[in-house]
Amino acid sequence: MSLLNSLFRGNGKLSERLVEASQSGETEIVKQLLAAGAGVNARDRDGWTALMHASWRGHAEVVEWLLNHGADVNLRDNNGFMVLMRASWRGHAEVVELLINRGADVNARSTDGGMALTYASWNGRTRVVEILLNAGADVNAKDKDGWTALMRASWRGHVAVAEWLLSSGADINASTTDGVTALMRASERGQAGVVEVLLRQGADINASTTDGVTALMRASETGRARVAKILLNSGADINASTKDGGTALKHAFWNRQSRVIELLEKHSARQH
């Protein structure tokens, strides 16, 4: 008990020390604090519990001890995030499995409408994405911005994640309220690998937003010459226009994208 007495005197409440020890992965101290009656669901000033800290840092052994002593897997911090979301964001697969096995809600939403799958996909956590999908995560759920997990993965260029999502039933042509698709997201960011995957899997290459903007226009205005070439070679309509008459070539001119302008002019010349 001398160690615990020292901890108590030096750090205030046992529950506060439990949060600290969990954050730093001090398993033996966590065990002693729990045995001494530390509050397993106590929070720090940000609303984080010991379980949240241990999960964020990937301390699987500490997570398991906390769960065995009644840690609540579905509490939210002050920002509305739950522990599974945090662990998924960081890609801690072992922790994610522990949390799911103890009843963590795989389809719970944060205040921005995101889910564990959303955050894992955004950060390219392929193994975690696989675990979440196998546990019943909704592959086509949208956040408050209308983004699906596939859109998030496509924007960031995570090819393996995109492939997992598609093989699990992701709607390849799902769109936001203004009509933006995963292909447009990937094209705008120059994510050639994802663009190729989406096209192979049947993405609508000429889909347009409510304003008439296509994936080719997105690639053209942001100077993504490699992606523009892939789209053109795959049948993108070079003459498609927006409601105000903007074509891919005009978008490239407006944004001074010389490489794309040259590519589009050459492709247009071959058509005539």
**pLDDT (tens digit, 9 = 90+) per residue, 191-233?**
999 999 999 999 999 999 999 999 999 999 999 999 999 999 9
Cβ pair 151, 185 in contact under 8 A: yes
In a shared domain, residues 66 and 88: no
In a shared domain, residues 245 and 187: yes
pTM of the model: 0.92
Cβ pair 81, 110 in contact under 8 A: yes
> Which of these three, 170, 202, 220, is where a domain ends?
170
In a shared domain, residues 165 and 176: no
Q: How far, in Å, CA of 164 to CA of 6, rounded?
A: 50
Say what the pLDDT of residue 13 is. Answer: 85
CB proximity list for 32: less than 8 A, separation 6 or greater: 3, 4
Secondary structure of the chain in HEC code, one letter for each residue: CHHHHHHHHHHCCHHHHHHHHHHHCCHHHHHHHHHCCCCCCCECCCCCEHHHHHHHHCCHHHHHHHHHCCCCCCCECCCCCEHHHHHHHHCCHHHHHHHHHCCCCCCCCCCCCCCHHHHHHHCCCHHHHHHHHHCCCCCCCCCCCCCCHHHHHHHHCCHHHHHHHHHCCCCCCCECCCCCEHHHHHHHHCCHHHHHHHHHCCCCCCCECCCCCEHHHHHHHCCCHHHHHHHHHCCCCCCCCCCCCCCHHHHHHHCCCHHHHHHHHHHHHHHC
Cα atoms found within 13 Å of the Cα of residue 234, Cβ hemisphere only: 22
Tokens of 239: 């003459």
Is it the case that residue 96 has pLDDT exceeding 60?
yes
In a shared domain, residues 266 and 225: yes
In a shared domain, residues 262 and 183: yes
In a shared domain, residues 178 and 215: yes
Q: How many CB atoms lie within 10 A of CB 35?
A: 10
Cβ pair 48, 77 in contact under 8 A: yes
43 DSSP β-pair partners: 49
Tokens of 14: 């046992």
Torsion of CA 16, 19, 23, 25, to 10 degrees: 100
pLDDT (tens digit, 9 = 90+) per residue, 25-38? Answer: 999 999 999 999 99
pLDDT (tens digit, 9 = 90+) per residue, 42-65? Answer: 999 999 999 999 999 999 999 999
> Which of these three, 113, 143, 170, is where a domain ends?
170
In a shared domain, residues 264 and 191: yes
In a shared domain, residues 147 and 218: no
Is it the case that residue 7 has pLDDT exceeding 60?
no
Cβ pair 264, 249 in contact under 8 A: yes
Is it the case that residue 247 has pLDDT exceeding 70?
yes
Say what the pLDDT of residue 253 is. Answer: 96
Is it the case that residue 11 has pLDDT exceeding 90?
no
Q: How far, in Å, CA of 96 to CA of 167, rounded?
A: 21
Q: Which of 4, 262, 170 is nearest to 270 (CA)?
A: 262
Q: Which residue has the higher pLDDT, 1 or 189?
A: 189
Q: How far, in Å, CA of 268 to CA of 61, rounded?
A: 61
CATH of the domain at 228: 1.25.40.20
- For the chain, the domain total comes to 3
Say what the pLDDT of residue 261 is. Answer: 97
63: containing domain = 1-72
Tokens of 245: 């008459």
> Which of these three, 170, 198, 217, is where a domain ends?
170
